[in-house]
Amino acid sequence: LLVMARTDIRAIDGIGAAIDRAKQLVDAGADAIFPEAMANLAEFEAVRRAVDVPILANMTEFGKSDLFTTEQLAGVGINMVIYPVSLLRLAMGAAERGLDTINAEGSLASRVPDMQTRARLYELLDYESYNAFDSSVFNFTL
């Protein structure tokens, strides 16, 4: 079990308050710190210098922090990074574009090059293993 303690005080009371809170959270037993709304890499680095536990960065689009690269974050001592809504936003954007195409063109034929192939989908899902398992437990014939 890992206790991740999040502090959102930076957006209200500044980086000094966030550092103080992070220290208090570690003193209270937190195994890792999630400092929310850091304004820049220097602020992440300041939290890193203040505590000796892993630190998580939240790279959510349209949030308070700039979108730093994993290399930039690692460079200032960040141990973990999450992208909590990124893949959903990408998927929903693709779905919206697909629906717009159906509405405008009556089919998705022009979008086929943008789609993941059946072969790649089956590879990612390890479909053959599932199929083999299904066949091993049930052999349906009419």
Distance CA 126, CA 140 (A): 21
- Domain positions in the chain are 4-82, 86-137
Q: 4-82 maps to which CATH number? A: 3.40.50
- Report which residue type is found at 135: S
Mean pLDDT over 120-142 rounds to 85
Tens-place pLDDT, residues 98-112: 999 999 999 999 999
Q: What is the pTM of this model?
A: 0.80
Tally Cβ neighbours within 10 Å of residue 38.
26
